[in-house]
Amino acid sequence: MGMGPVQAGAGDEDGFDAAPMSEINVTPMVDVMLVLLIIFMVAAPLMTVGVPVQLPKTAAAKTSESKKPVVVSVDKDGHAFLAKEPLPPETALARLKAAAAEDPGQTVLVRGDKDVPYGKVMEVMGLVGQAGFAKVSLIANAPSGGAPAPASPVPAAPR
């Protein structure tokens, strides 16, 4: 009684079954993660927008934005900036209206230094509302010292 022929599909040419490999090679995954970590560590400081200000802390929830918002900053001396460009009082409304004409539904983030008087920040927010922006948010730091957290949008003053 000899051994019968090996059935097709029961093994490879030698008659041995090749067991599936049950181990995952994590070395390439670790390499990719380390490269991504380095990229984010280098890119994160470059993502800071605008003039450096000391933001107050808040416990408000963070919001997510799909479009790049317009950033208006008020430094510790009370000077306003549109992104990094100075925003003198005499041309502020005209420049904000021009920005609102491009996209009136765009969110405006107002960054005010914690040492600037509250009235100055409200004055800038009033200009933003007069320019025609409907969504205005204030930016503050998280209590744990994390990244700037925009507060929930506040309706702008009526036109």
Q: State the Cα–Cα distance between residues 49 and 42, nearest whole angstrom.
A: 16
| Cβ pair 151, 137 in contact under 8 A | yes
The CATH code belonging to domain 50-155 is 3.30.420.270
Q: Where are the domains of the chain?
A: 50-155
pLDDT band at 159 (very low <50, low <70, confident <90, very high): very low
> pLDDT tens for residues 108-118?
888 888 888 88
Q: Is the pTM of this model over 0.75?
A: no
Query: Residue 141: what pLDDT?
Result: 74
Q: What percent of the chain has pLDDT over 70?
A: 73
Torsion of CA 133, 46, 75, 67, to 10 degrees: 10
> pLDDT tens for residues 34-45?
999 999 888 887
Sequence letter at residue 73: S
pLDDT band at 52 (very low <50, low <70, confident <90, very high): confident
pLDDT, averaged across the chain:
77
> pLDDT tens for residues 132-149?
888 888 887 777 644 555
Whether the predicted pLDDT of 69 surpasses 60? yes
Range 10-25 average pLDDT: 70
